[in-house]
Chain A
Amino acid sequence: MKKLIGLGLTYAIVQILIMTNAITGYLQATLVTICINIILAVSLNLITGFTGQFSLGHAGFMSIGAYVCALITMRVPTVYGFILGVLLGALAAALVGCLVGLPTLRLRGDYLAIATLGMSEIIRIIFLNMEITNGAAGLNGIPQFVNWTWLFTFTVGTVLVISNFIKSAHGRACISIREDEIAAEAMGINTIKYKVVSFTIGAFCAGIAGALYASYFYFLKPDLFGFLKSVDVLVIVVLGGLGSISGSILAAILLALISSYLQSFPEIRMILYSLTLIAIMIFRPQGLMGSKEISLSVFSKWASGLKSKRGRV
């Protein structure tokens, strides 16, 4: 219940700020980037933080969602076309995730990272050479349907579905793979199945993020989804804490704010940004949140603790 009120308030406040033109232009773009990065980071956290599979291919899945959604909305420029585009984009990304996951998820650690990196490069090259995606020039004039309501719905939806999944028996199976793959297998967990499942769910959500990106920024080219984009997402996940969903959300917001603040120093922006990352990693090597979560119950416990103290005095 408290969760619902919190979410409702967040939505309403931002909506009012947008309607009163307090959030415009650049700020709005930052808001969109934050939401997309939250979806990307939380879904990568499912793969890397919770299931323990080091993936460097998230930009590949994102690009599939982006291109599929763009191509559909350019042909069916209505809201229904947009919703269809997001769904089909996500499904296409999930399908590729599943097909790629089946052979590669037998690899471990660094080997898997290289394999997923290769996969996302292959996807990029395919988009670069396809007629329908207009190659290196990219797609222009994609109809813009993403507004705050859609953005909020998809972001909250993804985060809730993934955190629900983690708290289920299937989620625990994924976590047991991260903890000890041999023991998990010996306790009856089909480790290959659960790795592929977590990879597929992660890819599905990355597809959603890509579709939202395409529909808001109305311009796509393959270069946007290179190796660096995957690393950007990984940085958010590691910075927030592997295995912490609230950590990923916090880090996505923080990094977007830092990066937009640094816009005022264009020459040394990337240097300062990198220095901030290094500093955080030195002082919080486990990430901002470690593997803990912020939850509203912490606040209510804290409040009831205060009350009982007062009662004793």
Chain B
Amino acid sequence: MSILKVNKITKSFGGLTAVSKASLELEKGELLGLIGPNGAGKTTLFNLLTGIYVPDSGAINLFREGEEVALHGLRPHNICKAGLARTFQNIRLFKDLTVLENVRIAMNKNIKYGFIPSFFHLPSYRWEEKQSIDDSIELLKIFNLDDKKDELAKNLPYGEQRHLEIARALATNPKLLLLDEPAAGMNPAETENLTKIIGEIREEFDLTILLIEHDMSLVMKICERIYVLDHGMVIANGTPEEIRSNKRVIEAYLGEDINDA
């Protein structure tokens, strides 16, 4: 059963076509990798999926509980509410806020009380605030960040900032999680730890995950299927073994004259 269907989306910036008629499909519960050389359009594709850019043409549809939601044209916060959350390649935490506040902001969509209770701190405010703090701490425990909940996000070590970004994305209660280079800048031990956490949250939150990554060992190890993007086009998709031996993929990474060399 598919959870996300992307049908021939295209995005151009002036004369440059960053993503060209890219189509992809995600099955519910799978962990899909998205790879490609630098400038292939991977992050642009993420930005299209999450509504930061609007596609010039094509369709993006999310399926949840048998319902089809068209995501193209929606604003990012509505896409997030539909059940699609992301992390950013160049960490975008709320740096001057605490770890706890970062997660609580992402939990805002659970908050039901209106503006009046917030002006006067009425009982509905007190009850829901307590609930949101408890839920946030519960989530932080998964990443071992609960004892650092009052630290400013900018003061965390790099690896933990990456973890916090994933925690914050999970706080929005997504069905589909997009991770943009989660292991970038991590050492092998940290990457190992991250791999473990991705596996755990996938089980616990019943997630479908789409992952951009340059660390091939990570991608080959945990992804069940891989899409390869080059010059904005999907040039291959298949299991890690198929991708490893795919001629077009090797050409894209190493250059076309591989046979002449």
Contacts from A to B (Cβ < 8 Å): 161, 164-165, 167-173, 175-176, 179-180, 182-191, 197, 291
Contact = CB atoms under 8 A, between A and B. Distances in A.
Given A164-B119, A168-B129, 17 more contacts: A165-B118, A165-B119, A168-B113, A168-B125, A169-B104, A169-B132, A170-B115, A175-B94, A185-B76, A186-B76, A186-B77, A186-B92, A187-B77, A187-B106, A187-B169, A189-B77, A190-B77
A188 B109 contact: yes
Interface string B127-155: 01100100000000000000000000000
Contacts of A190: 75, 77
A165 B125 CA distance: 11
Interface string B83-118: 001101000111111000100111011010101011
- Residue in B75, B95, B106, B171 whose Cβ sees the most chain A Cβ within 10 Å: B106
B15 to A, nearest CB: 25
B92 A180 contact: yes
Contact of A185 (B77, B101, B104, B118): B77
Contacts of A161: 119-120
B177 to A, nearest CB: 12
9 contacts: A169-B111, A172-B104, A179-B94, A179-B96, A180-B94, A187-B108, A187-B168, A188-B109, A291-B96
B81 interface: yes
Contacts of A171: 118
Going nearest first, the 4 A-B pairs with the smallest beta carbon separation are A168-B118, A179-B94, A188-B80, A183-B92
Contacts of B171: 187
B118 A186 contact: no
A183 B77 contact: no
B89 to A, nearest CB: 12
Given A164-B119, A172-B108, A189-B105, A183 B94 contact: yes
Is chain A's binding surface mostly helix, strand, loop or mixed?
helix
Contacts of B115: 165, 170, 197
B208 interface: no
A168 B125 CA distance: 8
Contacts of A175: 94, 97, 101, 105
Nearest to A168: B118
A187 B86 CA distance: 8
Interface string B52-90: 100000000000000000000001110011000110100
A267 B52 CA distance: 56
Contacts of A191: 77
Nearest to A171: B118
B142 to A, nearest CB: 18
Interface residues of B, number: 38
Is chain B's binding surface mostly helix, strand, loop or mixed?
helix
B119 A186 contact: no
Contacts of A182: 52, 76, 92
A180 B52 CA distance: 13
B105 A176 contact: yes
B57 to A, nearest CB: 23
Contact of B80 (A172, A176, A179, A186): A186
B77 A172 contact: no
A188 B108 contact: yes
Contacts of A184: 94, 105
B121 interface: yes
Contacts of A168: 113, 117-118, 121, 125, 129
B10 interface: no
A176 B94 contact: yes
A136 B80 CA distance: 52
A261 B101 CA distance: 42
Nearest to A185: B76
A144 to B, nearest CB: 29
Contact of B93 (A164, A172, A183): A183
A172 B109 CA distance: 12
B50 interface: yes
B161 interface: no
B20 interface: no
- Residue in B75, B104, B119, B172 whose Cβ sees the most chain A Cβ within 10 Å: B119
A164 B122 CA distance: 10
A168 B132 CA distance: 11
Nearest to B86: A186
Nearest to B125: A168
Interface in B193-222: none
Nearest to A170: B118
Contacts of B92: 180, 182-183, 186
A189 B111 CA distance: 12
Contacts of B118: 164-165, 168-171
B121 A186 contact: no
Contacts of A186: 50, 52, 76-77, 80, 85-86, 88, 92
Contact of A188 (B81, B93, B119): B81
A291 B94 CA distance: 15
